[in-house]
Amino acid sequence: MSLKEKILIADDSEMNQMLLEEILSDKYEYVMAKDGTEAVDILEKNDDIDLVMLDINMPKMDGFGVLEIMNLRHWISEVPVIIISSESDVDFIRRSYDLGASDYISRPFDLTVVRRRVENTLMLYARQKRLVRLVEEQVYEREKTNNTMINILSHVIEYRNNESGQHILHVRMMTDILLRRLIEITDKYPLTETDISMIVSISALHDIGKISVPKAILNKPGKLDPEEWEIMKNHAAIGDAMLYDLGTQQAETLMNLAHEICRWHHERWDGRGYPDGLKG
């Protein structure tokens, strides 16, 4: 596997292709396209293109058409484009930038200008990709830590309740299945993968309020008497109140979900649930 950066040169002039390859020397790998349609096809089939050098006036599909497709398919944010053209009209150049081009090089080519602008563009995008990866890694580590803490707390609650740790796993699995089925049958709840992941994670804390219920009631064999049942039912409202006592910003999506799950996980469609008797 080559470690050289790969440049797609899209120009209907073979002389221009050869000239650019000569100017940029053997520092890069090159893929050639003689028109816009071929350039799009190459981009579609190759995810290792690091830079596109794009002529505007080409047969079948011009450079503007290529830029429009790159925007439509969200390639423009991943692959920088340098326009190469003899056009000097201001509106022409402005349209290129409006469509996401990173730079503009006019013909005839100046060796130093071409080399420097290609190097600078590739360097800028390489830094951008490193920053994106760094942010993704930080988000991943934070989510992993959050999930670990949620799992520890939920298992502490289940241990006190003498329930198997499988209960938490089952709740999370059922929550995931129900949410995915929900978005299949209705567009009323436009849940993203992030939304689903967040709800599934927080579902593990649904019984946090049980930490306030006496163990004698939690682990009583047989049926609870009416007074004990009222104490047991309080765990939903108590779990909600415990979260308020944390003093965390209530506007945060994560905390709003936690409140709803802790308080309402025993509500029923027919209104016979608790603590608020929600219906429908």
Statement: residue 250 has pLDDT above 50: no
CA-to-CA distance for 197 and 175, rounded, in angstroms?
10
All CATH 1.10.3210.10 domain ranges of the chain, comma separated, are 161-264
Report the pLDDT value the prediction gives residue 47, as an integer from 0 to 100.
86
* pLDDT band at residue 178 using 50, 70 and 90 as cut-offs: very high
- Of 20-34, 125-139, 166-180, 229-243, least confident by mean pLDDT is 125-139
Statement: 161-264 belongs to CATH 1.10.3210.10: yes
Q: What is the length of the chain?
A: 280
CB 81 within 8 A of CB 124: no
Tell the CATH topology of 6-130.
Answer: Rossmann fold (3.40.50)
CA-to-CA distance for 143 and 259, rounded, in angstroms?
19
CA-to-CA distance for 228 and 213, rounded, in angstroms?
10
Report the pLDDT value the prediction gives residue 165, as an integer from 0 to 100.
59
CA-to-CA distance for 246 and 50, rounded, in angstroms?
48
All CATH 3.40.50.2300 domain ranges of the chain, comma separated, are 6-130
Tell whether the torsion through CA atoms of 232, 233, 236 and 238 is positive or negative.
Answer: negative
Statement: residue 258 has pLDDT above 70: yes
CA distances from residue 183 to 32, 157, 188, 200, 265 in whole angstroms, order as listed: 44, 31, 8, 15, 20
Q: Looking at the DSSP assignment, which residues form a beta bridge with residue 104?
A: 83
Identity of the amino acid at 211? I
**Largest pairwise CA distance in the chain:** 91
Residue environment code for 127-153, b if the CB has 16+ CB neighbours within 10 A, otherwise e = eeeeeeeeeeeeeeeeeeeeeeebbee
Statement: residue 24 has pLDDT above 50: yes
Indicate the burial class of 123 (C-beta count within 10 angstroms; 0-12, 13-18, 19 or more).
Answer: exposed
CB 99 within 8 A of CB 71: yes
CB 41 within 8 A of CB 75: no
Q: What is the pLDDT of residues 41-53, one digit of tens each?
A: 999 999 889 999 9
Average pLDDT over residues 106-113: 87
CB 147 within 8 A of CB 172: no
